[in-house]
Structure 1
Amino acid sequence: MNYKLIKLNKVLLSIISILTILLILTLSFANALDAWIINKFIALYIVSFLLCTFYVIIVAILQLKNLNKTESRKRIIGFSKFFLFNFLILFVLSIIFNKFDIPKILVICFSGSFGFNFLDLAFSKDCSKFNRY
């Protein structure tokens, strides 16, 4: 029963967020309302997106502490390998195509590696005392 409620909450949250994005885009392209209403929607969406991102990062780090040493070491080594591999590939491609932007490359590599190796920890319920509903 509890699992069904959590799944229902995730589905409803995704539907609400998609509808909010569509509403913002519709209002901004149709110019139906004043710009200050659209700016408030966009500001609220950005703040909620950043808070959700920070929450996922913090929960994943706290979950990493709850893992045993071999599992956490395996994930950290996988993160490092994936980060370095992506960085080298994107760095070489940026040199080839003359679009050299190190901060953008670092953000892409870090977020991709973090999501690939640690994102499942933020949503797993077995080993956490921090992520309760």
Structure 2
Amino acid sequence: MNLQHNGALFYVRGVTPFKEREKQKREAMRNLHYLKDIALDAFESHKAELKGDGKAGNWFLPLQLYVLPKLGCLPVSEITQTDIRNVLAPIWHTKAATAEKALNRLNICLKHAAALGLDVDLQTTAKARALLGKKRHKTQNLSAMD
């Protein structure tokens, strides 16, 4: 009786139960796109732009070492600026160049996720940068060899 009533409500709203189930499945699948999968997919799509088709793996390394161990198993739609800040804060002042690369490449991954149709806030990395503040790291030049 209850199922018939719910089915009748779907039809009154102009939605069939089949379409409603499909919509629920799509929403459930939307949350199953983990950052580690999106990052690999983004790397594959950017290989053509990289020197030597990215065989050295240098493009992916900052993500692999600092971001993916902590955020890789999160759905990309659930990543917030505080998550990114918490991951990059330990290296933001000590390894500023690496942290900047990781943040930029994470931004590329989020743009890739948005291009795939996932619900992602593209301002997340900019907000995380604001939370992290200015870098105190001073670059040091190496003295010339005699």
What range describes the TM-score normalised by the shorter chain of this pair? under 0.3
TM-score where L is the length of structure 2: 0.25
Question: Quick check: which one's helix share is greater?
Answer: 1
TM-score of the superposed pair, with normalisation by structure 1: 0.27
